[in-house]
Structure 1
Amino acid sequence: MEGVVGLVTILTGDLEPMKAFYSDVLGFEVIEDLGNYVEFRNPGVRFAICTREVMYEATGQESYREERGSHAFEIAFPVGDPDDVDRVYDEVVAGGATPIKGPEMMPWGRKTAFIADPDGNIHEIYSYKPEDFS
């Protein structure tokens, strides 16, 4: 097998608020909406949200019906330079994202802020470093 990620899907128990958040607040364009599965335009890796019930029906695994009590993943959204982190953080919080931690320079050399989506998944908004492009 070749180590390649082709699709990232966030599972949810309540699709509509998640769809609105990722499209209206974060700006992802919906390219497919099946009612229980929504895929967004994202260059490189496919990105989607779907109900846990869809995965239960596909696999028969009861674990898909269990509520999750902790964070199992994070999505990091690059926005450009450090000033962009401040601007985008303010925009997405004003649009409905839950603020977790405001923009701050991190030990790894990138200005970073943390927000949460309607399901409580915590994600990161970060700036590039100049060496990211060399």
Structure 2
Amino acid sequence: MDQRISFVTLAVRDLDATRSFYLDGLGWEAALDVPGEVLMIQAGQHLVLSLWAEAGFEAEVGPIRRGPGLAPITLAHNVPAPEEVDAVLATARAAGAEPVTDAVARDWGGYTGYFGDPDGYRWEVAHNPGPIGQVVLP
């Protein structure tokens, strides 16, 4: 079996708000857009972010656990320089992202901050100067 992830699929409450945030706010482009059902965005050479309306997600995958707290997942967008972390966070916040934490220098040598999308999914924006950071940059 190949060692890879091809899709990250997230269930979203309001697909129209999600579309507006990712396409209009962040400036990303849809690879597939089926109104009321799914929005797919090519997020890397061989990676698709798939955003499903909750009803369709539950019909295919099963019931969504609901309750207080955060979904136990984060997504990350790595950039080649620390100043780009601040720029991406500013773009996300201008698009309506929930500010979670400003970027700070981390003990492990990186520089990261977080924002929340319309459904509260946490995005880390990171500069990782180590070898693993170089693996994920185009």
Q: TM-score, normalised by structure 1?
A: 0.85
Residues 25 and 96 in structure 1, CA contact (< 8 A), matched pair in contact too: yes
Residue 68 of structure 1 deviates from its aligned partner by 4.8
- CA distance, structure 1, for counterparts of residue 106 and residue 80 of structure 2: 15
SS in 2 for 1:129: coil
Instruction: Give the alignment partner of residue 46 of structure 2, picking from 44, 58, 65.
Output: 44
For 2:67 and 2:52, locate their aligned partners in 1 and report how far apart those are by CA, in whole Å: 15
In the TM superposition, residue 130 of structure 1 has moved relative to its aligned partner by 5.5
Q: Does structure 1 residue 79 correspond to structure 2 residue 82?
A: no
Query: Which digits, 9 at most, give the CA deviation of each residue in 1:4-48, with x for residues without a partner?
Result: 211111111211111211222333211211111011122221111
State percent identity of aligned pairs: 23
Quote the Cα distance in structure 1 between the aligned partners of 2:120 and 2:58.
Answer: 21
Paired residues of 2:25 and 2:92 also in contact (CA < 8 A): yes
> How many aligned residue pairs are there?
131
- TM superposition outliers: structure 1 runs of 4+ over 4 Å: none
Aligned counterparts of 1:22 and 1:54: Cα–Cα separation in 2 = 20
TM-score by length of 2: 0.82
Unaligned runs of 5+ in 2: none
Q: Could you list the runs of 5+ residues in structure 1 that have no partner in the other structure?
A: none
Aligned to 1:85, what secondary structure does the other structure show?
Answer: helix
CA RMSD of aligned residues (A): 2.0
How far is the alpha carbon of 1:87 from its aligned partner? 1.8
* Contact map agreement 1:25 1:97 (CA 8 A) in 2: no
Q: What is the CA–CA distance in structure 2 between the aligned matches of 1:68 and 1:30, rounded to whole Å? A: 30
